[in-house]
Amino acid sequence: MKTRDMNRDWIATAATLNSALPYLQRYDGAIVVIKLGGHAMGSDEAMESFARDVVLMRQVGVNPVVVHGGGPMINAMLDQLNIQSEFVNGKRVTDKATVEVVEMVLSGLVNKRIVQAINGQGGKAVGLSGKDANLIVCDQADPSLGFVGSPSEMDPAILHNLFAHDVIPVIAPLGAGKNGETFNINGDTAAGAIASALKADRLLLLTDVSGVKNAGGEVVTELKAGQIREMTMDGTIAGGMIPKTETALDALHSGVRAVVILDGRAPNAVLLELFTEHGAGSLIRPD
């Protein structure tokens, strides 16, 4: 016969699960689009933790969609293949040779690594790109940048079919052109377009920073769209945060209920955001 005394850690764990109930009920059946990039893709340990979080979300009734980047892996492969890139105003020109490598790395190496990690935690994940089932049709974003696309038409029917079978879609940010081209899409832009097409309850943009910061350098936990515009105009929001907040505003305008910019380096960041009172990062809502 085994005996065991209850200790404080066990009691705290039970209390945490108990307090999560309203949020589990709140997100039952909800669609949550997660843009994965940065630190969460940088190590096997971080990937395993992220995959476990996503499987838990699906287990409790959330419909997660993972959209990933892969810039460092693309750069490494281009270097390995000795493919030289041109730059226009600091942006890489994606020529035909480059976009072939981009597709190989994103749809192959990176996408299947994430799929395998989720399946390894007991989930059912399927890897796609925006080219599959005409999920994302693109226009050329800027002729000077080559095969860089801007989503123009979306058909999320394939994603709803996957939700109906408890499958977690993992999507590489590539799209099809109207003349059969392959276009590379910025990962945040692709995630925003997918969230908009799905009218998602949440778009979570995982980054390597803790959220949107005010002029004093403090993370602002909740903002309205108008405040984001004001902070951009006065220079408080600058640099790499600008495209993320622009993606957030576009998604909100298209019917996404709320967008969160949060630190993907934090353990269980996605679960903290969805299933706790305090959340994580910066929650952005419509005006």
| pLDDT tens digits along 118-169 | 999 999 999 999 999 999 999 999 999 999 999 999 999 999 999 999 999 9
Q: What's residue 178's pLDDT?
A: 92
**Is 70 annotated as ligand-binding?**
yes
pLDDT of residue 18: 80
Rounded to an integer, what distance in angstroms lies between the CA atom of residue 192 and that of residue 205?
9
Residue range 125-136, pLDDT digits in tens: 999 999 999 999
Confidence of residue 44 (pLDDT cuts 50, 70, 90): confident
In angstroms, the CA 83 to CA 102 distance is 12
What CA–CA distance (Å, rounded) separates 27 from 256? 14
Question: Is the four-CA dihedral 113, 115, 118, 122 of positive or negative sign?
Answer: negative
CA 17 centroid distance within chain: 26
Which residue ranges form the domains of the chain, and what is each CATH number?
Answer: 28-285 (3.40.1160.10)
Q: What is the pLDDT of residues 194-206, one digit of tens each?
A: 999 999 999 999 9
This prediction has a pTM of 0.92
Closest CA to 276 of 55, 33, 18: 18
Binding site annotation covers 92? yes
Average the pLDDT over each of 51-60, 199-208, 219-228, 263-272 and give the range with the smallest value. Answer: 263-272
CB within 8 A of 84, min separation 6: which ones? none
- 71 assigned ligand-binding residue: yes
